[in-house]
Amino acid sequence: MNRITSSSPITFKRGISLLAAFACLSVFPASAQSYQRVIRVSPAGGDISSLGGWRIAQSASYAASKRALGRPSREVIKKVGSSCGTGWWHRLGVTIDYDDFGYGRCATHGFVQVITIRGKIGRNRWKTDRGLRIGDSVARLHHSYPHAHRTGSSYLLHPHYQEVVGGLFSFLVAHTSHGRVDRFILWIGGAGE
């Protein structure tokens, strides 16, 4: 007996539509992720609250950085000195410096101190919560951060007075070269002051 009915062409069309929808869903998240990679600053203290999906304010440990960003492209771990190592994520344009106060055990005692985002990959992958990207002009920087304070070739994007530093400080800094932002420097201070 032939089971093909008049509703079969409609079902076939629905199947094609569903396949097209699934294809779109599998394509768009990859491109949408670049828009989700935002450097967020807490409104209260101006400290870095998150980097993409990584909630730095909750955990700035060596292990948390690897869980959030994946395995680094390159890593140098030191056995002596307070700076216990550096990790590079070339596919993200991210470099992280760690500190462990001289324990020599970065994996168990290391915390994120400074994150640097740079290069073309950094531009394509990251933006601040006000839309500033690497490669943007200083004019764009002033538009996004009208209260930014210039110090040399860097701009403190959320300047505030800090006694420990004895002057103006910002957890988020935009370094410039030739009138354009060439890197972001994020002071995390996960190991303390």
Q: What is the pLDDT of residues 150-164, one digit of tens each?
A: 999 999 999 998 887
| pTM (predicted TM-score) | 0.79
Question: What does the alpha-carbon distance between residue 193 and residue 191 come to, in Å, rounded to a whole number?
Answer: 7
* Token output for 150: 């210039």
pLDDT, mean of residues 166-186: 96
> Which one is predicted more confidently, 1 or 139?
139
The reported pLDDT for the residue numbered 28 is: 38
Instruction: Check pLDDT > 60 for residue 47.
Output: yes
Question: What does the alpha-carbon distance between residue 60 and residue 27 come to, in Å, rounded to a whole number?
Answer: 31
Helix residue spans in the chain (DSSP H): 8-36, 62-69, 106-109, 119-125, 138-144
E-assigned strand segments in 52-179: 74-77, 83-89, 94-99, 111-118, 127-128, 149-151, 154-156, 160-162, 167-169, 172-177
Let me know if domain 39-187 sits in CATH 2.60.460.
yes
134: left (phi over 0), alpha (psi -120 to 50) or beta: beta
Question: What does the alpha-carbon distance between residue 115 and residue 86 come to, in Å, rounded to a whole number?
Answer: 10
Question: What does the alpha-carbon distance between residue 113 and residue 54 come to, in Å, rounded to a whole number?
Answer: 15
Question: What does the alpha-carbon distance between residue 156 and residue 145 come to, in Å, rounded to a whole number?
Answer: 9
